[in-house]
Amino acid sequence: MDFRLTDEQQAFADAAREFAVGELAPNAARWDAESIFPKETFRRAGELGFCAMYAPESIGGLGLPRLDATLVFEEMAAYDPSTTAFLTIHNMATWMVGTWGSDTLRAQWGEALATGDKLASYCLTEPGAGSDAGSLQTRAQRQGGHYVINGSKAFISGGGDTDLLVVMARTGEAGPRGVSAFAVPADTPGITYGRKEEKMGWNSQSTRPITFENVEVPAENLLGEEGQGFVFAMKGLDGGRINIAACSVGAAQGAYDTARQYMQERKQFSQPLAAFQALQFKLADMLTHIVASRQMVRLAAHMLDSGNPQASVYCAMAKRLATDLGFQACLDAQQLHGGYGYLKDYPLERLVRDTRVHQILEGTNEIMRVIIARQILEKGVDIR
């Protein structure tokens, strides 16, 4: 098995790192402190193709494999996991519109989403439907040439700051088979945005609840056909789990790089921290966990790209592993900084705060274990 990146993949990763160093690194702390949603930065990302990496070329996307997208997200997250995480969400929503949207919808929104001129949010979670997404209650009723949507969503990234909402709503029976997907312009009458949530991290992206009250959307804004929404959501979550896992790997790499440099510069007892074996071991474990997580994420991405029937369980395993080990690496890097790691002058406390939520979203890591265990016990997992 060849683990090396191709020249094209390496160039793509290098471009992402250059963008991150120029755009994210100088601003991440300020965006976090002032809760700024950096729309202009997303537009500049769009100019490089980073807003529609795996969206179809028919709407201006790059049509790249998920593996290639992880390279970009990892490089960016090393400097700013929060802003990068929203970019992953926008990519997912853009991919859904480009893949399952009607000709009218793709003509209206495709290019604008692909370039970052317009931004999109993904609306699945509800106040009473988190891990159990199939029980969502938001309803869409067909009335002639349009649908009327009523209900509420919770924890919507970018809510109130984006231009399009990809909304999962019930059009039929109870359970997953009754769920459909819609692309809803964010300024449609009847949409109300709640207060901006005050969060532990992810402060460069707004998070709000959204209420839909008799919101009318044209029938052509239905993605695919009625009843396919939950299937689309699960396909989106497979990719989303890889994306957020890649963000954890990137944040861990950024934390590791910072800690390694600090250990070589900081002196105690007349010698650099790097001279103490106990601290050397911690750094060694951090790097080992980062490399293991990176390979697991890339394996899962490869399986998703190749249509492997076990891709979903590998995405779950990659998400569980990378987000747990990535968060721990950030904590360890903070510990190596001693008291300085607790200060906002250093990036460690922000990396810790931003990566904590990775163990919760895109399905909690407890749910990842449920998915993995169910596959093991019902069908088995081919690990050879």
Quote the pTM value: 0.95
pLDDT value at 243 more than 70: yes
Q: How far apart are CA 219 and CA 145, in angstroms?
A: 5
User: Across residues 241-252, what is the average pLDDT?
Assistant: 98
**pLDDT bracket for residue 1 (50, 70, 90):** low
Q: How many domains does the chain have?
A: 3
Both tokens of residue 357?
A: 């939520």
Q: How far apart are CA 316 and CA 71, in angstroms?
A: 19
CATH number of the domain bearing residue 282: 1.20.140.10
Place of tokens 């705060």: 353
pLDDT recorded at residue 323: 98
pLDDT recorded at residue 384: 67
Domain that holds residue 197: 120-224
pLDDT tens figures, 159-174: 999 999 999 999 998 8
Check residue 256 and give left, alpha or beta (phi > 0: left; psi -120 to 50: alpha). Answer: alpha
Query: Could you tell me the CA-to-CA distances from 132 to 135, 178, 291 in Å, in that order?
Result: 6, 14, 32
Residues 277 and 141 reside in one and the same domain: no
pLDDT recorded at residue 2: 74
End residue of a domain, out of 86, 115, 144: 115
**pLDDT bracket for residue 325 (50, 70, 90):** very high
Q: Are 177 and 169 in contact (CB under 8 A)?
A: no
Residues 214 and 235 reside in one and the same domain: no
Residues 209 and 311 reside in one and the same domain: no
End residue of a domain, out of 115, 138, 168: 115
CATH number of the domain bearing residue 41: 1.10.540.10
Residues 352 and 271 reside in one and the same domain: yes
Q: Are 105 and 176 in contact (CB under 8 A)?
A: no
Q: How far apart are CA 226 and CA 232, in angstroms?
A: 11
End residue of a domain, out of 171, 201, 224: 224
User: Across residues 251-261, what is the average pLDDT?
Assistant: 98
Percent of the chain at pLDDT > 70 equals 99
pLDDT recorded at residue 380: 82
The amino acid that residue 9 corresponds to is Q
Sheet strands (E) in 219-344: 222-223, 267-268, 271-272
Of 321, 173, 322, nearest to 253 (Cα)?
322
Average pLDDT of every residue of the chain: 96
First to last CA, the chain: 12
Residues 260 and 357 reside in one and the same domain: yes
Residues 83 and 143 reside in one and the same domain: no
Q: State the catalytic residues.
A: 362
Of 281, 282, 293, 296, nearest to 252 (Cα)?
293
Residues 125 and 109 reside in one and the same domain: no
pLDDT tens figures, 71-115: 999 999 999 999 999 999 999 999 999 999 999 999 999 999 999
DSSP string, 190-226: TEEE-PPP--SS-TTS-EEEEEEEEEEEEGGGEESST
Do the domain assignments include residue 383?
no
CATH number of the domain bearing residue 141: 2.40.110.10
pLDDT tens figures, 110-143: 999 999 999 999 999 999 888 888 889 999 999 9
Residues 219 and 289 reside in one and the same domain: no
Q: How many CB atoms are closer than 10 A to CB 145?
A: 9
Residues 255 and 333 reside in one and the same domain: yes
Residues 147 and 287 reside in one and the same domain: no
